[in-house]
Homo-oligomer: A and B are copies of this chain.
């Protein structure tokens, strides 16, 4: 456990930042510290470990060398990472960076059966939240055509390093009917033809990819993403083109090229068209918007509590990568929910396009 004075030291060293949600006070790690990763939540006598980064393989060639035992091929769902946990009598959901997310926390009991925390108060449910009604990214996984969904991929325990084993996770998932990411089976790293077929099928269905989890004590992991997912990301983030670092796009184009090589894609022309369209269709849309006013992203999220909706608006100013200003459109009760409609203002994209369309001169 971590004492209050240690937390104070981490804050003083700027390794951690104090936060609060409702009455609950905590600190979150901005960097790795004392073996805990970025995003770890520290509170009096409590540690919610951050979710560790998973390395990416760009080609399947490395898998036999990287994996020493068969791995479970779990689907990688396109959404945002959330850790659901209990502190005192309350349940919270934390973002990857370790902030309590007002939206996910508000809707937590819609996502999973909260009785899992009565039986196992120390449990941390790690999963992906996705759907068209989430507050962070436009676009959604094909797995959730409406509303929101949660897909469990890992269980942790408060104060403990590492994940519960595949068997423990299966048992708890079954007992509490927890929604989990699709499991595409156990794969021998030396026989990848099945794996290749799984990836090919996911790609055809526009799904994001796979997390490979070695079934061994060291539990080695890697992720592999489909070409379709790269294109979906480009199309989605091109909506905020100049409000995103340029390497967001160039890295995905490169990964797509490696994917096509890996899969020995034959329809090169079709892929070229899809890649070009991902950029040009979104940009055409943005040019039209800029001509009429502003480039914004429009979001609609439903809450049980009005206060959480306002907290979300407030927090969107702080989350890294979402620093664009947020504008409330409206917040009203509809069919038993508080429905929050808001816009993110993509200021750089708007500014550049308006100036370009106005015919102003630019020195580059």
- Determine which of B66, B275, B360 lies in contact with A276 in the assembled complex, contact meaning CB atoms within 8 Å: B275
Question: Which of A57-65, A68-76, A167-175 interfaces with chain B?
Answer: A57-65
B273 touches A287 (CB 8 A): no
Q: Does A55 contact B (CB under 8 A)?
A: yes
B359 touches A59 (CB 8 A): yes
Knowing A246-B246, A246-B250 touch, does A57 contact B361 (C-beta < 8 A)? yes
* Number of A residues with CB within 8 Å of any CB on chain B: 54
- Determine which of B58, B269, B357 lies in contact with A59 in the assembled complex, contact meaning CB atoms within 8 Å: B357
Give the shortest distance, in Å, between A228 (CB) and chain B (any CB): 14
Give the shortest distance, in Å, between A68 (CB) and chain B (any CB): 14
A61 touches B358 (CB 8 A): yes
The 8 closest A-B pairs by CB, nearest first: A62-B359, A272-B276, A55-B361, A275-B276, A257-B283, A58-B356, A276-B276, A246-B246
Q: List 17 A-B contacts (CB under 8 A).
A: A55-B361, A58-B357, A59-B358, A59-B359, A62-B358, A222-B361, A242-B254, A249-B250, A249-B253, A250-B250, A257-B279, A257-B287, A268-B277, A268-B280, A271-B276, A272-B275, A272-B281
A360 touches B62 (CB 8 A): yes
Copies of this chain, how many? 2
Q: Does A251 contact B (CB under 8 A)?
A: yes
Knowing A250-B241, A359-B57, A363-B55 touch, does A257 contact B276 (C-beta < 8 A)? no
**Residues of chain B with a CB closer than 8 A to A65's CB:** 359
Give the shortest distance, in Å, between A271 (CB) and chain B (any CB): 7
Q: Does A261 contact B (CB under 8 A)?
A: yes
A66 touches B359 (CB 8 A): yes
Q: Does A218 contact B (CB under 8 A)?
A: no
Q: From A258, which residue of chain B is reached at the shortest CB distance?
A: B356
Q: Does A256 contact B (CB under 8 A)?
A: yes
Give the shortest distance, in Å, between A42 (CB) and chain B (any CB): 23
